[in-house]
Copies of this chain bind each other. A is one copy, B any other.
Amino acid sequence: MAATIHDVARHAGVSSRTVTNVLNDYKWVSDETRRRVRRSIDELEFVPNPVARNLRLGRTGLLALAVPNLMASYFAELSEALVDAATLRGFGVVIELTKADPAEELRLLATRARSRLFDGLIFSPLGLGPRELHEVKCMLPVVMLGERVHGDFDHVGVDNVQAAADAVEHLIAMGRRRIAVIGRDNGTGIYRTEGYRRALEHAGIVYDESLVAPTSNYFLDDGSAAMAHLLDQGVMPDAVFCCNDTLAIGALRTLFEHGLHVPNDVAVVGFDDVDDGRYAIPSLTTIAPDKAGLAAMAVDRLVRRMDGDTSPAADLVIPHRLVVRESTAGLAAERATPRAHQRRPRPAASTTRQATSGVASKRPSRSGARRDGTGTS
Residues of A within 8 A of B (CB): 1-2, 45, 47-52, 54-55, 60, 62, 69-71, 73, 76-77, 79-80, 83-84, 87, 92-97, 99, 111, 114-117, 139, 217, 219-221, 224-225, 228-229, 231-233, 249-250, 252-254, 256-259, 275-276, 278-281, 283, 344, 346-348, 357-361, 363, 365-366, 368-371
Question: With A and B bound together, what is the CA distance between A52 and B244 in angstroms?
Answer: 43
Contact B224 A47 (CB under 8 A): no
A50's partner among B95, B115, B229 (CB-CB below 8 A) is B115
Give complex CA distance A20, B344 in Å. 56
A365 to chain B, nearest CB (A): 4
Q: How far is the CA of A47 from the CA of B361 in the complex (A)?
A: 63
Q: Is the CB of A84 within 8 A of B97?
A: yes
- Kindly state the separation between the CA atoms of A365 and B225 in the bound complex, as whole angstroms: 12
Nearest first, the 8 closest Cβ-Cβ pairs linking A and B are: A232-B365, A76-B76, A225-B371, A70-B80, A47-B114, A70-B76, A253-B279, A281-B281
A80 — which chain B residues lie within 8 A by C-beta? 69-71, 97
Q: Which residues of B contact A361 (CB under 8 A)?
A: 258-259
- Contacting pair B139 A117 (CB below 8 A): no
Copies of this protein chain in the complex: 2
Chain B contacts for A73, CB-based, 8 A: 73, 76, 276
CB-CB < 8 A to A83: which residues of B? 70, 95-97
Nearest Cβ distance between residue A25 and chain B, in whole angstroms?
Answer: 19
Closest to A54 in B: B51
6 pairs, A vs B, C-beta closer than 8 Å? A47-B116, A51-B54, A69-B80, A83-B97, A229-B369, A257-B363
Instruction: Evaluate whether A93 and B92 lie within 8 angstroms (CB atoms) in the complex, with A51-B54, A55-B55 already known.
Output: no
The CA-CA distance from A259 to B54 in the complex, in Å, is 59
Chain B residue nearest to A118 in the complex (CB): B92
A220 nearest in chain B by CB position: B279
**Which residues on the B side are within 8 Å of A280 (C-beta)?**
253, 281
Given A225-B371, A257-B359: A79 touches B70 (CB 8 Å cut-off):
yes
Q: Please report the C-alpha to C-alpha distance between residue A167 and residue B319 in the assembled complex, in whole angstroms.
A: 44
Nearest-neighbor residue (CB-CB) of A78 within chain B = B70
CB distance from A150 to the nearest CB of B (A): 23
CA distance A160 to B254 in the complex (A): 33
Would you call A92 and B94 a contact (CB within 8 A)? yes
Decide: B95 and A95 in contact? CB cutoff 8 A: yes
**Which residues of the other chain, B, contact A370 by a CB distance below 8 angstroms?**
225
Known contacts: A220-B278, A249-B279. The answer to whether A228 contacts B363 by CB under 8 A is: yes
- Decide if A254 touches B371 in the complex (CB within 8 Å): yes
Query: Please, which residue of chain B has its CB at the minimum distance from the CB of A358?
Result: B257
Once A76-B71, A371-B225 are accepted as A-B contacts, the answer to whether A217 and B99 lie under 8 Å apart by CB is no
Query: Is B71 a contact of A70 with CB atoms below 8 Å?
Result: no
Contacts of A365 in B (CB 8 A): 232-233
A339 to chain B, nearest CB (A): 18
